[in-house]
Amino acid sequence: MKVNNIFSKVVLGACAVLTLGSCNDFLTIYPTDKTVAEDFWKKKADVDQMVTGAYAAMIDYNVTERCIVWGALRSDELVKRNGLSNNTIDNVLAMNLLPSNGYNSWSGFYNVINRCNIVLNHAAGVMDEDPEFTQGDYDAVRGQMLALRSLCYFYLVRAFRDVPYTTQSYEDDDQQMQVAQMCPDSVLTFCIKDLKEAEKIVMRSGAYGYNNWRNKGYITRDAVYAILADIYLWRASMNHDQSDYESCIEYADKVIKSKDEYYRENHGASVSGADADQYHLTDGRFVSSMLSNNNSIESILEWQYDGDHNSNTALENYYDMSGSEGQHDASGNVEASQLFNSPSADANSLSGTKIYHSKNDYRMWNNVYLANSAEALQLEIRKFVSRRGDLTDIENRNKGEEKTGNNFPAYQRNWIVYRLTDVMLMKAEALVQTATNDSSSVLRSAFDLVQTVNKRSMLQTAKDTLTFTDFKSKVGMEELVLCERERELCFEGKRWFDLVRYAYRHMDGVNSRQKLADVTTWPTLPRKFTSVIVRKYDTGGDAVAYKMKTEPFLYWPIARREIHVNLLLKQNPVYSDNETSSKN
């Protein structure tokens, strides 16, 4: 029996990747699996080609688009551009997550997972065929594929909760492909096990040579540490598990230490002044350019686009869409919500009406166009998509720069998966949760991390930086960390997942060891969570909040076509499989 589900859509093992190539045409397909068995997996180059293919699949439009939609659009950050006709985005924003909604396709991630499985199931045999493919080469490949597969499963768990998990490679259309879902605790436990193996065998960060793109484009040890910190933080929030919070802190510290050592190795043993601290963060005046120029010193893992062989068209279509000659025709599919417009005194609280607490924050001016203008309901995104330099004269500005077009003949902006300040703020979030009371010293440690990130982005002469006495309670510090993460990481596909972690920490009765479809009563979402989600709406927020009731509403429905062809799948129980009513 041939099953036409996701696994039949992935590019199977009968393929050799020649280069990173374009996003839509980078494979040479052999006709049958017999040809592969006879003619492939003979040389080190065969393994390298397949590894490259796994990374190439990760930069596919399908994947980057979902990073934006799953991680940012559902949050309080983004709204649909005025004038854009797109019923699918309308339904997402209205919380009508139909099983036919194209955004709930998980095919891109399972494509990558299957490629990783193919390499993991064949690469070891090449050592017997080619003496140039050594044990060290194999270990580095195995570590990368274990980590990349784990990262994909982590995305899927955060988007769908209960997902099919397999380490089997699908290389023949005649293979049976019915795979049941697992609960998130089981999937993440497998991921952690693989990542702990990977951290021992992947290349040390920086091992490819100073300023070599592979230090950020391939999974290295720092990337494994960052993924582990992120997974532990997620699982700790679901399960209210102190040991997982401590593990998050442990792996965040490994990233911080490794980045510090690499910096000192490449800038001399003696550093002083601003370089004397362990973070070595870029001057806030130039952070926007740093992020746009690809593979910055603060980055840990980025998906690579060079504008020649491949282009980040998902980033362009969602955030930019300038005219081809540099004239501004229209903004992208989405724009920043009114929360990013101007500062407000309550910005460091989840009940705040704005994102920034001070107009002296360089990020307010560089993340969006026309910041601090009239009370606009939408603002076009500047972060990542502007080719012009940072706005550094903020003390003399009444409003931000107006967009005039970017003139990108080929969109060469990388997608940032992890960077140092992200990990620093993960650690701060975990530290807050290890505090036993409001006088715990770890709250001060969490604040110091937030202050380091915040202060580097403030005008150097500013007096309105953060003050610890304003946030010395555990509740206040938890909210401060989340607010700072939004300021620092906005539009990077992080915010929805940050808020879901917050929701889990304030819910009782969550069972991550049980699948949603196996129970009939689910924990209620905290009111503060839903109020944050809907604060971006000028109208219609109450209707959206009404639909966000219980835990299953945090997740996407399984795509209808997957349910129809994989008889072992069970639909998210709050969604009905029809076009007239999106929820039961």
> 318-322, 380-384, 448-452, 515-519: which has the highest mean pLDDT?
448-452
Query: Is residue 72 in a domain?
Result: yes
Q: How many CB atoms lie within 10 A of CB 553?
A: 17
Question: Which residue has better confidence, 427 or 460?
Answer: 427
Amino acid at 309: H
Q: Work out the percent of the chain whose per-residue pLDDT is above 90.
A: 77
Instruction: Give Cα separations from 249 to 67, 224, 253, 346, 533 (angstroms).
Output: 25, 14, 6, 28, 27
pLDDT of residue 16: 35
Query: Is 276 part of any domain?
Result: no
* Chain segment 85-110, per-residue pLDDT in tens: 999 999 999 999 989 999 999 999 99
pLDDT attached to residue 38:
65
DSSP secondary structure letter of residue 524: B
Task: Give the pLDDT confidence of 185-222 residue by residue, as tens digits.
Answer: 999 999 999 999 999 999 999 999 988 999 999 999 99
d(CA 177, CA 184): 21
Bigger pLDDT: 460 or 14? 460
Q: Is the dihedral of CA 88, 90, 92, 98 positive or negative?
A: negative
For the chain, what is the domain count? 1
List, as one string, the DSSP characters of 162-213: SEE-------STTS-----EE-HHHHHHHHHHHHHHHHHHSPPTTTT-TT-T
Residue predicted with more confidence, 451 or 173: 451
Residue 496, domain member (yes or no)? no
Q: Helix or strand or coil: residue 20?
A: coil
Specify the higher pLDDT residue, 18 or 547.
547
Report the pLDDT value the prediction gives residue 27, as an integer from 0 to 100. Answer: 28
- The pLDDT of residue 285 is 94
pLDDT reading at 19 higher than 50: no
Domain-embedded: residue 146: yes
Q: Is residue 198 part of a domain?
A: no
Counting other chains too, the contacts that 462-467 makes at CB distance below 8 Å and 24 or more residues apart are 462/358, 462/360, 464/357, 464/358, 464/360, 465/358, 466/348, 466/357
Mean pLDDT in residue range 554-577: 91
The tens digit of pLDDT for each residue in 328-365 reads: 455 689 999 999 999 999 999 999 999 999 999 999 99
The answer, yes or no, to whether residue 565 has pLDDT greater than 70, is yes
Written in H, E and C, the secondary structure of 368-406 is: ECCCCCCCCCEECECCCCCCCCCCCCHHHCCCCCCCCCC
Higher pLDDT, 285 or 307: 285
pLDDT computed for residue 7 by the predictor: 31
Comparing CA positions, the residue from 53, 50, 12 lying closest to residue 173 is 12
pLDDT digits (tens, 9 = 90+) for 363-405: 999 999 999 987 788 899 999 988 888 999 999 999 999 887 6
Whether 67 is in a domain gets the answer: yes
* Nearest in space to 17 (alpha carbons), one of 26, 9, 25, 8: 26
Single out the residue of 454, 429, 452, 451 nearest to residue 442, CA to CA: 429
Would the pLDDT of 10 be above 50? Answer: no
Q: Which of 545, 551, 546 is CA-nearest to residue 532? A: 545
Pairing of strands 334-337, 378-379: antiparallel
Three-state SS at 417 = strand
The whole-number pLDDT of residue 15 equals 38
**How many Cβ atoms sit within 10 Å of the Cβ of residue 477?**
27
Q: Is 173 part of any domain? A: yes
Q: Give pLDDT, residue 578.
A: 54
More confident residue, 545 or 579: 545
Helix (H) or strand (E) holding 316: helix 313-319
Residue 372 inside a domain? The answer is: no
Chain centroid, CA 30 distance in Å: 33
8: alpha, beta or left, given left = phi > 0 and alpha = psi -120 to 50?
alpha
The CATH number for 566's domain is 1.25.40.390
For the chain, give the mean pLDDT: 88
Helix and strand numbers, DSSP H then E, in the chain: 21, 9
pLDDT at 4: 36
| Burial class, 551, CB count within 10 angstroms (exposed 0-12 / middle 13-18 / buried 19+) | buried
Burial-class residue 441 by CB neighbours within 10 Å (0-12, 13-18, 19+). exposed
How many CB atoms within 10 Å of residue 32? 12
**CA–CA dist 79, 81 (Å, integer):** 6
Query: In which band, very low, low, confident or very high, does the pLDDT at 180 lie, cut at 50, 70 and 90?
Result: very high
Pairing of the two strands 78-80 and 27-29: unpaired
CA distances from 229 to 223, 224, 248, 529 (A): 10, 9, 4, 23
The tokens describing 34, both together, are 């017999």
pLDDT tens figures, 45-80:
999 999 999 999 999 999 999 999 999 999 999 999
Domain membership of residue 58 as a residue range: 8-184+559-584
CA distance 305 to 500: 30
Based on its alpha-carbon atoms, the radius of gyration of the chain, rounded to whole angstroms, reads 23
For residues 215 and 297, the answer to whether their CB atoms sit within 8 Å is no
What is the predicted pLDDT for the residue at 13?
33
Q: Bridge-partner residues for 17, per DSSP?
A: 27
